[in-house]
Amino acid sequence: MAARRRRKPYRPARPVNRKRPVTATAEAETAPVEVVVERPDKVTISDSINVSELAELINMTGVELVGELFNRGIVTNVNATLDFETAALMLADMEIEAELLEKEPEDAPEDEVSDIPDVEGEMGERGPVVTVMGHVDHGKTTLLDAIRKSNIVAGEAGGITQGIGAYQVEVEGSPITFIDTPGHEAFTAMRARGAQVTDIVVLVVAADDGVMPQTREAIAHAKSAGVPIIVAVNKADLPGANPQRVLTELADAELLVESMGGDVVSVEISALKGEGVDDLLEMIHLTTQIDQPIARLTGPARAAVIETRLDRSVGPVATVLVSAGELRVGDAFVVGLQSGKARSLVDADGNRIKVAAAGRPVEVAGLSAMPRPGDQLAVLDDEKQARQIAEARRLRESREESSVAERLGLEDLARQLTHGAIQQLDLVVKADTDGSVEAVVQAVQALGYELVKPNIVYSGVGAITENDVNLATAAKGVVVAFNVKASPAARGLADQNGVEIRIYQIIYDLINDVDATLKGKIKPVITEVIDGRLEIRGVFRSERALKIIGGLVTEGRLNRGATIRVIRGDETIATGRVDTLRRFADMVNEVTAGYECGLGITVRPKVAEGDIVEAHHEEESLPGS
């Protein structure tokens, strides 16, 4: 039997074009509502405040506040921390007064040393650390080459030592560690780090060149570290050498050698020929015997980071100088804001070792991330303790030191808030080592002019990545790199966004190019020049735009095609240009002062007898020219 079809209930057809009545409520729902956000006139904030918290206080979203900061040249995020000065300066620009919240005094936070447990061990003599300093090309690397009996000069680009290297040799059975500091003046901070970890400074001065600016800087670093100085007068065998002049110039730099009545040892050498090098080593050995360095020889190691680099196979690698105890393979440690476990130790000769004693330089692999030169490495009981201390340090730094003002500096922030009164060149800097990054940044920051300054948006170690290109895109800046390459993805993104990537092998070229770019960004000064003035003495035709007038040129000259303004009394009533210029029936290009002429001008308002037609043009010139 067939299934019965279910009948649908009857519904009358709805009239065509029938519209439902719109109620008052519906009208209210569809009407646009203008939301007026009220900003407070005054807020009370602490000495540091999160961006999202500040946004909530002033009735903004975190994204909106990040946008406001970006418009002022500050690239940040909603999780960043602002200090009071930064927040107050930005709020003042938004016409909001900021008041500092007073808080109860509290104990000072732990520093990088106090959060490490004290350890005991056997005290004794350790090998001295010698830092070699001096002006570029005065022979520092050649001297170390002679000492170490190896050749590293040939592989260096531009004759500059590109990073700090630490090497150990034996003199009369005693180990001596040498630290080679780069000679270019841009690496000043690296020399300062060398002086902080050294026991003796060997100052290399070329006998044919004398005391140079970097020589004086090295003297200042050594004196501030309070360590003995030994002067090595290099290239003493050259025809133009004058060692006595060098000693006199050193005396002028307040460094008096023994032969001139002082207490500073000096040795004449020829690093290239190896002459006098043994005498220098003997003087170093004798100097250390007078005041032998003492350190803890046993127990967990303490070390100072000299240099860092990124190794493709093992990751972050740090060159450290062990200052106390023994550093062993397998030791868990904390270094600065990072933790790690020593997977391998490599000495200055490239040999894998299991233990590094006090006074010995060694490369350590097994770090969680890249530490900073100058960070202190401390061996702990286990990896868990190391991770906890590193995490606590990162949180403390994030809370206390990650403010935008701290990174940019208050003067830079004030410059941003002037809304372009001073231009800047935004740069993303990448390099092969942390020391090279610091050198490039300091060299670039030393550049600049009154009207244009460089601004480092970001700097870091390693190849150029997509994130670097994104930062440069947001800042409308340039990526400059030293001794590293760009990943294919980064290059593709740079081409897509129109971001320029510049890679250099020699730091001089990088500095010169940035300097040239800065000069090119200086806006010229626009000056208005008055070419001539004409007094209108007759109006012969006045249409909608074209006016035919006659008059006397009272000053300067009038040219056909000139830009003009019409002045009535003290007010400019019209602007336009000279279309035609006639003397009697002749068409002319120029009429000078004292002559009458007829001219057709394109201006819309009506002109009258007695009005002044003033011709002018603009000229560009560089500031100060």
Helix (H) or strand (E) holding 233: strand 229-234
Strands of 248-301 (E only): list them: 265-268, 294-296
34 lies in a domain? no
Pairing of β 165-171 and β 174-180: antiparallel
**Which structural domain range is residue 146 located in?**
128-294
147 with 285, same domain: the answer is: yes
CB atoms within 10 A of CB 175: 14
Instruction: Output the CA torsion sign for 474, 478, 480, 484.
Output: positive
472 lies in a domain? yes
Block residue for tokens 């890249």: 370
CB atoms within 10 A of CB 496: 10
- What is the pLDDT, as a whole number, of residue 438? 85
CB atoms within 10 A of CB 501: 20
Residues with Cβ within 8 Å of residue 296, at least 6 apart in sequence: 119, 120, 121, 122, 123, 302, 324, 325, 358
In this predicted structure, the answer to whether residue 155 has a pLDDT above a threshold of 80 is no
pLDDT digits (tens, 9 = 90+) for 269-289: 988 888 888 899 989 988 888
Residue 164 binned pLDDT confidence (cut-offs 50, 70, 90): very low
- Angle between helical axes of 213-225 and 188-196 (0-180°, round to 10): 30
139 with 156, same domain: the answer is: yes
Last residue of a domain, one of 466, 495, 520: 520
Last residue of a domain, one of 54, 80, 100: 100
In this predicted structure, the answer to whether residue 73 has a pLDDT above a threshold of 80 is no
319 lies in a domain? yes
Task: Give the Å distances, CA to CA, from 590 to 40, 511, 556, 557, 610.
Answer: 62, 50, 10, 7, 21
Q: Are 560 and 578 in contact (CB under 8 A)?
A: yes
| CA–CA separation, 340 and 377 (whole Å) | 10
| CA–CA separation, 398 and 413 (whole Å) | 20
352 with 446, same domain: the answer is: no
In this predicted structure, the answer to whether residue 429 has a pLDDT above a threshold of 70 is yes
In this predicted structure, the answer to whether residue 522 has a pLDDT above a threshold of 60 is no
463 with 543, same domain: the answer is: no
136 with 284, same domain: the answer is: yes
Q: How far is CA 509 from the centre of its chain?
A: 17
Task: Give the Å distances, CA to CA, from 458 to 431, 438, 573.
Answer: 12, 12, 52
Helix (H) or strand (E) holding 411: helix 410-416
Say how many domains are in the chain. 5
Instruction: Output the CA torsion sign for 378, 379, 380, 384.
Output: positive
- What is the pLDDT, as a whole number, of residue 102? 66
317 lies in a domain? yes
Closest CA to 607 of 560, 554, 541, 530: 541
Q: Report the CATH number at residue 455.
A: 3.40.50.10050
Residues with Cβ within 8 Å of residue 415, at least 6 apart in sequence: 421, 422, 424, 453
- Reduced to 3 states (helix: H, G, I; strand: E, B; else coil), residue 414 is helix
Q: Are 401 and 408 in contact (CB under 8 A)?
A: no
125 strand-pairing partners: 294
Closest CA to 268 of 199, 208, 178, 215: 208
In terms of pLDDT, which residue wins out, 585 or 117?
585
Residue 25 binned pLDDT confidence (cut-offs 50, 70, 90): very low
144 with 186, same domain: the answer is: yes
184 with 57, same domain: the answer is: no
- What is the pLDDT, as a whole number, of residue 117? 72
How large is the average pLDDT for residues 393-417?
49
Residue 218 binned pLDDT confidence (cut-offs 50, 70, 90): confident
158 with 290, same domain: the answer is: yes
550 with 603, same domain: the answer is: yes
pLDDT digits (tens, 9 = 90+) for 577-624: 999 999 988 899 999 999 999 999 988 888 999 999 999 998 876 554
19 lies in a domain? no
560 with 448, same domain: the answer is: no
Q: Report the CATH number at residue 612.
A: 2.40.30.10
403 lies in a domain? no
265 with 279, same domain: the answer is: yes
- What is the pLDDT, as a whole number, of residue 403? 42
In this predicted structure, the answer to whether residue 71 has a pLDDT above a threshold of 90 is no
470 with 549, same domain: the answer is: no
Instruction: Output the CA torsion sign for 393, 395, 396, 402.
Output: positive
278 lies in a domain? yes
- What is the pLDDT, as a whole number, of residue 42? 86
How large is the average pLDDT for residues 33-45?
72
Percent of the chain scoring above 70 in pLDDT: 79
Closest CA to 317 of 433, 187, 441: 433
pLDDT digits (tens, 9 = 90+) for 446-499: 887 766 788 888 888 889 988 788 778 777 788 999 999 998 888 888 888 788
Here the tokens at position 460 are: 């870091």
Q: Report the CATH number at residue 225.
A: 3.40.50.300
DSSP 326: B
Last residue of a domain, one of 363, 398, 433: 398
| CA–CA separation, 365 and 351 (whole Å) | 14
Block residue for tokens 């270019």: 184
Mean pLDDT of the chain: 79
In this predicted structure, the answer to whether residue 394 has a pLDDT above a threshold of 60 is yes
* Class of residue 542 by CB neighbours under 10 A (exposed 0-12, middle 13-18, buried 19+): middle
Residue 28 binned pLDDT confidence (cut-offs 50, 70, 90): very low
138 lies in a domain? yes
